[in-house]
Structure 1
Amino acid sequence: MSATAPPALDSTLPQLGRGFVWQDLAVGQRLRTFRRTVTETDLVNFIGVTGMLEAIFIEEGYAGGAITGRPVPAALTYSLIEGFLLQTMIQGTGLAMLELSQKIHGPVRVGDSIEAMVEVTGIRPTSQGGRAVVTSRIDVFNQRAEAVMTYVATRLLAGRT
């Protein structure tokens, strides 16, 4: 049995997991993220690293809270959805977050499953290096298809070189 040397790495092959360049997107295009259940561990880790040590987040059944159940910070919901977008849509092509506006429609609680729908609402090529400013609306829903958050993100995305 003879051993065959492995082939040399071919850098011209398409890269798995790479995000969209702006030329692959179109105004009106809609995409959907995966769904993810928010866990107690997610909540504990997030409030620990951010210092969001509010009673409603750290004390189960906090009597002074306006939200029943185990609410999570809206910033955690946003971060989980942005993680999906980074891993699937803008990995290696997202250059900068330029602007963000956000509206919270309802609470997300530990045990809720969230997913988002992304709609590309604007693409404006820049004069520099094939880049473009891409605006998208992201609507976040829970497992009951209730809108819990909407945000508009304006990002700088790379183009084909």
Structure 2
Amino acid sequence: MASEPRLLGRGFYWQELTPGERFRTYGRTITSTDRSLFVGLAGMVEVLFTNADYARDHAAMRGEVCPGALVLSIAEGLALNATAQETGLAFLGLEMDIKRPVFAGDTIEVEIEVAEVRPESKGSRGLVRTINTVRNQHGEIVMIYRPLRLMAGDPGAVEA
């Protein structure tokens, strides 16, 4: 009898990660539609995001600048789909630095570096902190954030 095929895309158990390991996601282009939907959904009715005349005449930057929260959300989608599918249990917090603006039409990707891995006090779960560097299509760093996550443990691993 053939065994079940291995499911592609499953995230890492915390025991499979080592500080210093690095990963890179595919890129994703942030569209004007993404920007508009996010601003509307989040209720970010700031004129910078909702009034083209104001933005053209008064904004420090030209173009459809994206809220940092949108860039973070898309970066998290890229990172989580690649590393935590079925194994991410909880998002516990983050530190974030925005380095430069992102505009509708920019493509971002995320480099993930494992910074800390340690067992949690209950069961086989573990805490994982990464340093996530978000770059635009020119390779420029636009954001760095450091999430802390509770991750599932490998059910086949022997506990010490």
The normalised TM-score by structure 2 is: 0.90
Aligned residues, how many?
153
Match of 1:71 in 2: 65
Displacement of 1:59: 2.5
**What is the aligned partner in structure 2 of residue 23 from structure 1?**
15
In the TM superposition, 1:135-154 aligns within 5 A as 135-154=129-148
What code does the residue aligned with 2:10 have? R
Once the two structures are TM-superposed, the CA of residue 14 in structure 1 deviates from its matched residue by: 2.4
Residue type of the alignment partner of 2:98: I
C-alpha contact (below 8 Å) 1:27/1:122 kept by paired residues: yes
Segments ≥4 residues shifted beyond 6 Å? none
The structure number with the bigger radius of gyration is 1
CA contact (8 A) 1:60 1:69 kept: no
CA contact (8 A) 2:79 2:110 kept: no
| Residue type of the alignment partner of 1:39 | T
Q: Distance in 2 between matches of 1:127 and 1:60?
A: 51
> Superposition pairs for residues 76-115 of structure 1, below 5 Å?
76-115=70-109
1:3 maps to: none
SS in 1 for 2:101: coil
Instruction: Tell me how large the CA RMSD over aligned residues is.
Output: 1.6
CA drift of 1:90 comes to 0.5
CA distance in 2, matches of 1:28, 1:133: 15
Structure-1 residue corresponding to 2:154: 160
SS in 1 for 2:132: strand
* Pairwise CA distance, 1:13: 4.0
Q: Does 1:133 align with 2:133?
A: no
| Contact 2:78 2:110 (C-alpha < 8 Å) held by counterparts | no
Partner of 2:48: 56
Report the counterpart of residue 37 of structure 1 in structure 2.
Answer: 29
Q: TM-score, normalised by structure 1?
A: 0.89
Q: What secondary structure sits across from 1:20 in the alignment?
A: coil
Gaps in structure 2 of 5+ consecutive residues: 156-160
What is the identity, as a one-letter code, of the residue corresponding to 2:52?
Answer: E
C-alpha separation in 1, matches of 2:98 and 2:145: 8
Q: Indicate the larger mover: 60-69 or 151-160.
A: 60-69
Q: Which runs of 5+ in 1 are unaligned?
A: 1-6
Query: Can you list the C-alpha shifts for 1:52-89, whole angstroms capped at 9, x where unaligned?
Result: 11111122351221121110001000000111122111
Determine the C-alpha separation between the residues in 2 that align with 1:135 and 1:42.
28
